[in-house]
Amino acid sequence: MRSNGKKAICFYFQVHQPFRLKRYRFFDLGHDHYYYDDFSNESIMRKVAAKCYLPANKIILDLIEKHKGKFKVTFSITGIAINQFRLYAPEVLESFRNLAETGMVEFLAETNSHSLASLKSRSEFEHQVNLHKEMVKKYLGVEPTSFRNTELIYSDEIGSWVADMGYKAMLTEGAKHILGWKSPNFLYCNAMNPRLKVLLRNFVLSDDIAFRFSNKEWIAWPLTADKYAGWINKLAPSSELLNIFLDYETFGEHNWKESGIFDFLAHMPGAILKKTPFKFMTASEVADKLQPVSAMNIQNPISWADEERDITAWLGNELQAAALEKLYSLSRKVNRCDDDHLKKDWEYLQSSDHFYYMATKFFSDGAVHAYFNPYESPYDAFMNYMNVLSDFEIRLRRCFPDTAEQDQIFKLGTQVIEKDMVIEKQSEEIEKLKRKVSRIKPAVKPAVKKLTKASELIIEWNRSEKKAAEKSSATVKKRSGKTTSGKVIEEPVRKTKEKVPSKKISSTKKITAAKKTGTKAKVTRQKKSK
């Protein structure tokens, strides 16, 4: 056993509340662009704030003051949760800011919308992490230096992206199937970029608090701070780092106040400091002070969810795969669009929670899933989400039409403008010629029956006009077949003498109209060349 004397315990709490969607029906498509269930979002936030965030923050603030620098915790608050605090519970945000000011609390970076971007697109992932960094800076006044991904999803590759973005540590699950014989109670590093330290969650100690605390069937019930500290002390000889990662709602919401969870929280740090050699450290501090023992090889993404510790809670069935794929197929377009409302919705629609509701693995972890799920069935959740996503796509397309379509419109537009210029030029010419003709006419008037040069000119003019008209309509048909393919063209075309109806005009009509006015001029040109 290495014994450089430094033993750390890292408490990290996750704070997140999604923007739940309202019942959005197929009929609402294209009509209703507001997707959120304000009532449940607000009431849940108010409830959780009163039962958990505010009392727990108060206790932690007291603990920090009491232990004078010896008690430290780490938080991660999603951008969505921050926005909900701003909307529904500003006093919670204020109390987190107070915690930040003590200097004993670290705030982690993560994806702004608690999204699954890390599984789909690196650029979207990085974009979201940067967004979140700004949010944390703006509303909590600190700059995050360590990172946690949504639901502690982690793989070597994701870790390397995070390292490239300059973070020093990343948190993930100490999943049995990736650890094998190894212990989670040491510091590890990323396999692709060893500069990134990896903190592994001790799921036994964590779940003791999160899931078993109020379970009266549990052999260790009731769990007291001293008992817990005793367990930790037993681990001391063979451990350097204990990572206790919890949903913050564990305090007061998942375990009610009546279960004694707040008393546990209030006494646990004192007991640990007194009875064990462990020191409280934040995630970044751990990364700075401890030495990693080895690299962690994790090819397939893991997470802290369910028994499997994998990503099947969000990406385990066809529905989830289809929805996620559809969602991120829109990302390129969203990024090029600068509508603030769309961007907000885009953020909120990415929450992993929407995909969690679609999980069909009801058998092993159904209880936990059902607890968080506002829908009656995963199919219900899917229907609703896809309807919302379809409406979102409709709006996106309105704000930003398909590139292919737009290119086509642009091409046709320039074509029409070119034609217009030709028409203008040629009609001028026609005018000129007409004037010429009329000047000649009075001179030949007395000798009507004799074919003059001028009348010959007129006759031939008429004849070739017909021919040209036929020809032009034929070419137009050909071209329109290639370019329009029945698409709706909405580009208003200026300068044409024909008024272009805004919808569904076939380019054939338009161009023939343009040509018809142009034929006369063309004829004269043909003539000239003869």
Partner 1 sequence: MRVLMFGWEFPPHISGGLGTASYGLTKGMATFGDLEVIFVVPKAWGDEDQSIVKLIGANQVPVAYKKVHYQGFKRPIEKIEIESKIVPYTDPEDFWRMTRSEVSGYKLMVHTNNSGMVDFSGRYDRNLMDEIYKYSVVASVIASENDFDIIHAHDWLAYPAGIAAMEASGKPLIIHVHATDFDRSGGNVNPDVYHIEKRGMDAASKIITVSNLTREIVINRYNIHPDKVETVYNAVEPVSFSGESIRLKGFDEKVVTFLGRITMQKGPEYFIEAANKVLKVMDNVRFVMAGSGDMMERMMRRAAALRITDRFHFTGFLKGHDVFTMLEMSDVYIMPSVSEPFGISPLEAMQSHVPVIISKQSGVSEILTHAVKTDFWDIDAMADAIYGILNYPDLARMIIKNGKEEVIRLKWDNSARHVRDIYYRVIENK
Q: Given the complex with partner 1, which of 44 and 330 has the nearer CB atom?
A: 330
Q: How far apart (Å, rounded) are the C-alpha atoms in residues 420 and 402?
A: 26
Q: Could you tell me how far CA 345 lies from the centroid of its own chain?
A: 9
Contacts 24+ apart (CB under 8 A), 518-522: 518/419, 518/422, 518/423, 518/426, 518/472, 519/465, 519/468, 519/469, 519/472, 520/426, 520/427, 520/430, 520/465, 521/422, 521/423, 521/425, 521/426, 521/427, 521/429, 521/430, 522/426, 522/468, 522/472
Q: Given the complex with partner 1, which of 333 and 515 has the nearer CB atom?
A: 333
Min CB(422)–partner 1 separation in Å? 33
Is cis: bond before 222, omega within 30 of 0?
yes
Q: Which stretch binds partner 1 (CB under 8 A): 238-246, 254-262, 271-279, 375-383?
A: 375-383
Q: Given the complex with partner 1, which of 506 and 526 has the nearer CB atom?
A: 506
* 212 contact partners, CB below 8 Å, separation of at least 6: 218, 220, 221, 223
Largest CA distance in the chain: 129
273 close to 67: Cβ distance less than 8 angstroms: yes
Q: How far apart (Å, rounded) are the C-alpha atoms in residues 210 and 232?
A: 16
Q: Angle 165-325-127 (CA atoms, 0-180°, nearest 5)? A: 20
Q: Given the complex with partner 1, which of 487 and 525 has the nearer CB atom?
A: 487
* 165 contact partners, CB below 8 Å, separation of at least 6: 126, 129, 147
Quick note: the x/- pattern for partner 1 over 458-497, rule CB under 8 A, is ----------------------------x-x---------
Binding residue for partner 1, selected from 6, 28, 120, 289, defined by CB under 8 A: 28
Q: Which residue has the tokens 């028994």?
A: 307
Min CB(387)–partner 1 separation in Å? 7
DSSP code for 503: S
Q: How far apart (Å, rounded) are the C-alpha atoms in residues 485 and 472?
A: 20
Cα separation values, 76 from 107, 478, 523, Å: 5, 62, 76
120 binds partner 1 (CB under 8 A): no
73 binds partner 1 (CB under 8 A): no
394 binds partner 1 (CB under 8 A): yes
Q: Given the complex with partner 1, which of 291 and 377 has the nearer CB atom?
A: 377
390 binds partner 1 (CB under 8 A): yes
Q: How far apart (Å, rounded) are the C-alpha atoms in residues 34 and 474?
A: 49
379 binds partner 1 (CB under 8 A): yes
Please provide the DSSP assignment of 140-205 as one string. Answer: H-----EEE-GGG-B-HHHHHHHHHTT-SEEEEE--HHHHTTS-SSS-EEESS-TTSEEEEE-HHH
Considering only residues 220 to 279 of the shown chain, the ones binding partner 1 according to CB under 8 A are none
363 binds partner 1 (CB under 8 A): no
Binding residue for partner 1, selected from 266, 293, 321, 440, defined by CB under 8 A: 321
Q: Given the complex with partner 1, which of 29 and 142 has the nearer CB atom?
A: 29
Considering only residues 32 to 51 of the shown chain, the ones binding partner 1 according to CB under 8 A are 32
Q: How far apart (Å, rounded) are the C-alpha atoms in residues 72 and 12?
A: 9
Q: Given the complex with partner 1, which of 394 and 421 has the nearer CB atom?
A: 394
Quick note: the x/- pattern for partner 1 over 322-361, rule CB under 8 A, is xx-xx-----------------------------------
Min CB(9)–partner 1 separation in Å? 44
Q: Which stretch binds partner 1 (CB under 8 A): 38-46, 48-56, 157-165, 381-389?
A: 381-389
407 binds partner 1 (CB under 8 A): no
Q: Given the complex with partner 1, which of 116 and 241 has the nearer CB atom?
A: 116
Number of residues that bind partner 1 (CB under 8 A): 30
386 binds partner 1 (CB under 8 A): yes
The tokens describing 322, both together, are: 């289809």
Min CB(346)–partner 1 separation in Å? 15
299 binds partner 1 (CB under 8 A): no
Residue 151 falls in the annotated catalytic set: yes
Q: Identify which of 22, 7, 19, 84 has the alpha carbon closest to the alpha carbon of residue 53.
A: 84
Binding residue for partner 1, selected from 317, 331, 415, 508, defined by CB under 8 A: 317
Active-site entry in 110, 151, 173, 253: 151
399 binds partner 1 (CB under 8 A): no
Catalytic residue IDs: 151
Residues that bind partner 1 (CB under 8 A): 25-32, 317-319, 321-323, 325-326, 376-377, 379-380, 382-383, 386-387, 389-390, 393-394, 486, 488
